[in-house]
Amino acid sequence: MRATTRLAQVCLLLAGCLLVWILPHLSSWEPGRQPDLPVIYVITPTHSRPTQKADLTRLANTLRQVPKLHWILVEDAKVLSPIVAGLLSRCGLAYTHLNVSKPDFCQRSCVARGSEQRNLGLDWLRRNRGPLDSGVVYFADDDNTYDLELFEEMRYTKLVSVWPVGLIAARWYERPLVGNGRVVGWYTGFPGRTFGIDMAGNARFVLKGAKAGMQENDFLSKLTRMEDLEPKANNCTRVLVWHTRTEPAALYKHRKENISIEV
């Protein structure tokens, strides 16, 4: 009888030790979680406009379906927007919310839109990630449309991976031209660049002071060579992201009715 009681006490002690070890892990466990996957860091510059909330909602609904993803949303604003903050708090994603205003010379017009916001996102990563932490950085505009497959294509990027972009430069698509598994040229509406690619068409990227249409080219020229690019999406023959830019604010001519409603 004593032996039985002693055995029961030992079993209870072992069970207690097991719970002490496992409970902290349960708090961070998620169904379907894949801890070994490299994290995808999506940096999105955004600015206030009639379609901002609609565009961000659509993008959030896409990103929420991608495992191991951290959304860095950077507003072109002097203060964080309550509307954007509320959307992020409900989006179900790991996120970081930042803001920085465009330079004074860009207040009316600017040829390198989003540079300050993308650079702030990169600065956050430098401060919060170690040199040995695995992951990939992707710059996702908030008014583009993304196939979920795109994110798995980019996840194991070694340096810079590339793919086609649809509905851009008055063309059905732009894309890298691939021969024997390597990028050898570009099908683009803006020739004359070493890297004839849109920001949506590469992972890991940004450069201050870039000229119109040259942000991608200037940055990639300092980072890699064309022959070292990693073609994705079946050797750049499939479109998995579309440049579906929304309409400018000038088209929304009628004022909102004077009632309490959040658009």
**With 0-12 CB in 10 A as exposed, 13-18 as middle and 19+ as buried, what is 140?**
buried
What is the average pLDDT across 206-224?
57
Report the distance separating Cα 225 and Cα 236, nearest Å.
17
Report the distance separating Cα 126 and Cα 136, nearest Å.
13
The answer to whether 76 is annotated as binding is no
What is the average pLDDT across 201-220?
51
Tell me which of 40-54, 56-70, 175-189, 241-255 is least confident.
Answer: 241-255
What is the average pLDDT across 108-121?
76
What is the average pLDDT across 121-133?
89
Sheet containing strand 135-139, edge to edge, reads: 94-99, 69-75, 39-46, 135-139, 202-203, 161-162, 230-231
Residue 95 reports pLDDT greater than 90: yes
**Alpha carbon separation from 31 to 48, 90, 152 (Å, rounded):** 35, 19, 19
Mean pLDDT for the chain?
78
Q: What's the predicted TM-score (pTM) here?
A: 0.76
Q: If you compute the radius of gyration of the chain from its CA atoms, what whole number of angstroms results? A: 23
Q: Is 30 an active-site residue?
A: no
For residue 74, give both structure tokens.
């950077």
For residue 208, give both structure tokens.
């201050």
> Which residue in 30, 216, 257, 262 is the catalytic one?
216
For residue 251, what is the DSSP state? G
Q: What is the pLDDT of residue 88?
A: 98
Residue 12 reports pLDDT greater than 60: no
